[in-house]
Structure formats: C-alpha cells, structure tokens
Amino acid sequence: MSVAPTVRIRLRVSGVVQGVFYRQSTALEAQRLGLAGAVRNLPDGSVEVVAEGVRAAVEELVTWCRRGPPAARVDALQAEWESPTGDGGRFTVLR
C-alpha cells in the first residue's frame, strides 16, 4: 500500500478578508480536509495561509480560499509551493 505524498503551500489572500471570519472559516475547512498548518492576518490587510497535507486536500483548500466565507471578497490569491516540513498537528489560527 502506498501513502500519498505530502505537499505544502503558502497563500497570500488579498481583498476583504479581515473582519469577515476568513481565518476561522479557513481553519474549519482545513481541519475538515485533515490538513496541518496555520492562518493569520498580515499588517497590510491580507491573510496568509500555510497548509500541508495530501495534494488533493491542499488543492481543495486553495479552491476554497479563492472564494472564502460569504462575507469575504477575494481580489487576489498568490500561491507558493514549498517543501513539506512534516510538522503535522492541527491547523490553527494565529494572532
């Protein structure tokens, strides 16, 4: 039996993404997908998402992040694939 390889991505999401439950909603979606990582607000008003897990689940989270929760308006999403760290654990909301 083979195990699916782990991938890691770093997203920067811009638009109306702070004050609209974007971080909390992203964390719930990532947890539902079984991903590790974190989400945080950045000083410039954007949100950073770092997610690690099975590629299909990471790609599903990226698709979700392009629209976000109902009150959000995503204007841009930058994605950068990184080497997995293997940190594991839960997906968390950082302050």
pLDDT digits (tens, 9 = 90+) for 78-92: 999 999 998 778 999
Region 10-22: what's the mean pLDDT? 97
Predicted local distance difference test score (pLDDT) of residue 4: 77
**In-domain check, residue 88:** no
Q: Which of 8, 10, 40, 41 is catalytic?
A: 41
**In-domain check, residue 1:** no
Q: Which of 8, 23, 67, 73 is catalytic?
A: 23
Predicted local distance difference test score (pLDDT) of residue 33: 97
**In-domain check, residue 93:** no
**In-domain check, residue 95:** no
pLDDT digits (tens, 9 = 90+) for 17-43: 999 999 999 999 999 999 999 999 999
pLDDT band at 5 (very low <50, low <70, confident <90, very high): confident
Residue 12, domain extent: 6-83
41 tagged catalytic? yes
pLDDT digits (tens, 9 = 90+) for 41-66: 999 999 999 999 999 999 999 999 99
Q: pTM for the complete prediction?
A: 0.94
Per the listing, tokens 């004050």 go with 19
Domains contained in the chain, number: 1
**In-domain check, residue 65:** yes
CATH number at 37 reads: 3.30.70.100
**In-domain check, residue 49:** yes
Q: What DSSP letter does each residue of the chain carry, written as one string?
A: -PPPPEEEEEEEEEEE-SSSSHHHHHHHHHHHTT-EEEEEE-TTS-EEEEEEEEHHHHHHHHHHHTT-STT-EEEEEEEEEE------S-EEE--
**In-domain check, residue 94:** no
Predicted local distance difference test score (pLDDT) of residue 77: 98
90 tagged catalytic? no
